[in-house]
Amino acid sequence: MPTLPAGITLGAPSPTRGRSVLAARPFGPGDTVATFAGPCVTIPETSHLARTCSHCLAVATAGAGLGSALSSGGSGSSSGKGMRACQGCKTSRYCGAACQKADWALVHGRGECKAMRRARLFTETVGPPSVLPTPVRALIQVLVRPEMVAAVAEMEGHAERSRSSPEPSNDWLDLQLQARGALHYVGRPESSPKDVAETVEIMCKLKVNSFNRRDVDLDESGVYIDSALAMINHSCVPNAFVEIVGRTAVLHAYRAIKEGEEIEISYIETTLPRSRRRQALKTQYHFDCVCPRCKDDLNVYQVCQRYPHLDLNSFSLTPDLDLDKFRNPPLDQLIQSNNPLQHSAEEIYPSCSAPLTGSNPSSKHIHLRQRWKTCAPLVKAQAYAVDPLTQVLVEASIYFGGEQVGKLAYGLAISCFVALRSDAYRDPMPFSAVRIKGMFMIGKFLAHTATAAATSSTSGGNGGRALAAKVSQALGNMDQLTMGQTILKLIIHHSAVAHSKEWQVYQQANDLLSGLESLPGRETENALVDAFVRNPSGSDEMAFFKNAVLKPLQTLAGFTLEIMDAEFGM
């Protein structure tokens, strides 16, 4: 049994859920529950190997520029500039000598380097050298260390369910091929059927217990597996969440947790429609979720209504969403389970959910037009926090902020709308990563619109030009730097509540804020922002926040439906 870090204890095993983890003492929202620093496996995805340090997982040249937050592919250098390649396998990269040395002692020098070199040489015989897929590399990291084989052996793997799962989710053959490949590359080509079967079992365990580190905004990717973290069960209404920074995973409370209460995290995106969540949980984790969100098919508004601590929003971009407004969201239809709205969302989800990454601006525009039309029932019901409508709005904001389109004012308006009308309901705690990243997007947009022409081009005939002029004029009347600065301060406050100081968003927000604060001639504005952060409930300070930040944000958000209709309407 793995040693558990302070903060958590082991629960009694359940016949339906297996092992579980309990809180060793009470925790408040945002608190650190436990820290995990000795993972079994932590690797970048194969597609990110060239630009990610294989030991500390730092990403090369990920800048704080607008592009890194707005382009869903991220802007980290794809060449891995600044990373040194291992001269043995020519595959793993490191940010410096210290990481290379540490990784060599930990795993690379214990057989991983040789295995990767064999794989490279083999692929060279049949074409350009290629790198092994991520799951095979994860498996190799285990196979070359007997102590990790033992640690993984204790994990849940559902090998039998995996073997007998119906098509098309049955990947048993792939698992066998991958296991044979890994055994070959670690120097055990003559493995017996028993060895192969045991290796497939390890693969199944890695699959069930892997944390995906993928974060397109930060250009992070990879797999993280820790044997203590692997004992935490799932709920679509979790009371905790995991943040992974480098080689460390930190478990935070999402809401207050009592001593002895089971800790539950979400393995998947909780805001997906129920059928999607069920499919994801069944395919990868082999269970049916019976949490309240799944049991009663609650939508995001219903879940939000039941969350405690909604008052934490008094220091956020939605202080006006008092308990009453959270509990009675401005929807055009009664929110009930199994109502037509819920069915619409389920039905239209598949045609609106594929990421638009990689498409050129004109094909993105065509897709967004189709998706905006498809989402009409949700727009009509004002169900802006329900997927796929939120996703379409986020994609539209990214589209307008992209270099080739460059309609920053439109992108800004839509991100304000998402922060105020979607994210606050989808993720009611203001320290959630989604909320903070949404605010960061607004902060970055503002830093740019304050210094650049608000819109570089217009479309949609006279109506489109008039709208662009209207948005541009509204923006011109706002103190965008003060708005941006205050938002960055909120980000820094909430990051400190529930994230680590190594979190990239925290660091980038700090950098951007220092830049804005050092601009000449802004002493008065700097003092006002500082006074608000020191005493947010003071009447002068509150009035400042309302007039200088909230009202302008609401004005910008108010253009969103007009922008969407002008750009993507029929």
Residues near ligand SAM (CB under 6 A) = 16-19, 155-156, 158, 208-209, 230-231, 233-235, 285-287, 289
The backbone torsions φ and ψ at residue 243, rounded to the nearest 5 degrees and listed phi first, read -115, 130
Q: What's the closest the beta carbon of residue 428 comes to ligand SAM, in angstroms?
A: 21
* Length reported for the chain: 570
User: With respect to ligand SAM, which residue has the nearer C-beta, 3 or 87?
Assistant: 3
Q: Six-digit token pair at 518?
A: 């050092």
Q: How far apart are the C-alpha atoms of 502 and 247, rounded to whole Å?
A: 11
Q: How far is the CB of 138 from ligand SAM (least distance, A)?
A: 15
Nearer to ligand SAM, 158 or 188 (CB): 158
* Tokens 């500039």, residue located: 81
CB of residue 276 vs ligand SAM: minimum separation in angstroms? 16
Q: Which residue, 14 or 351, is less far from ligand SAM as judged by CB?
A: 14
Shortest approach of ligand SAM to residue 274 CB, angstroms?
Answer: 14
Measured CA distances, 397 to 386, 416, 563 (Å): 17, 10, 11
Query: How near is the Cβ of 113 to ligand SAM at its closest, in Å?
Result: 30
| Angle (CA) 20 21 27, round 5° | 145
**Could you give the angle at which helices 146-153 and 134-143 cross, rounded to 10 degrees?**
110
DSSP state of 333: S
Distances (CA, A) of 505 to 29, 232, 268: 20, 26, 21
Task: Name which of 224 and 285 has its Cβ closer to ligand SAM.
Answer: 285
Nearer to ligand SAM, 52 or 209 (CB): 209
User: Whose Cβ is closer to ligand SAM: residue 100's or residue 233's?
Assistant: 233
| Rounded Cα–Cα distance for residues 381 and 468 (Å) | 26
- Beta carbon of residue 521, minimum distance to ligand SAM (angstroms, whole number): 55
- Minimum CB distance to ligand SAM, residue 11 (Å): 9
Nearest CB to ligand SAM, comparing residues 188 and 282: 282
Nearer to ligand SAM by Cβ, of 20 and 191: the residue is 20
Q: How far apart, in whole angstroms, are the C-alpha atoms of residue 188 and residue 485?
A: 58
Summary count for the chain: helices (H), strands (E): 26, 12
**Least distance between ligand SAM and beta carbon 268 (Å):** 11
- The dihedral formed by the CA atoms of 160, 161, 163 and 164, expressed in degrees to the nearest 10: 120
What are the residues whose beta carbons fall under 8 Å from the beta carbon of 349, sequence distance 6 or more?
272, 273, 276, 387, 388
Q: Are 92 and 86 in contact (CB under 8 A)?
A: yes
- Tokens linked to 476: 């011109």
CB of 367 to ligand SAM, least distance (A): 35
Which residue, 17 or 184, has its beta carbon nearer to ligand SAM?
17
Decide: helix, strand or coil at residue 422.
helix
Smallest distance, Å, CB 227 to ligand SAM? 9
Query: Looking at beta carbons, which residue is closest to ligand SAM?
Result: 18
**Alpha carbons 210 and 226: distance in angstroms, whole number:** 8
CB nearer to ligand SAM: pick between 19 and 84: 19
DSSP code for 257: B
Question: Residue 447's closest CA among 377, 514, 523?
Answer: 514
Can you tell me the distance from the alpha carbon of 316 to that of 493, in angstroms, rounded to the nearest whole number?
A: 10
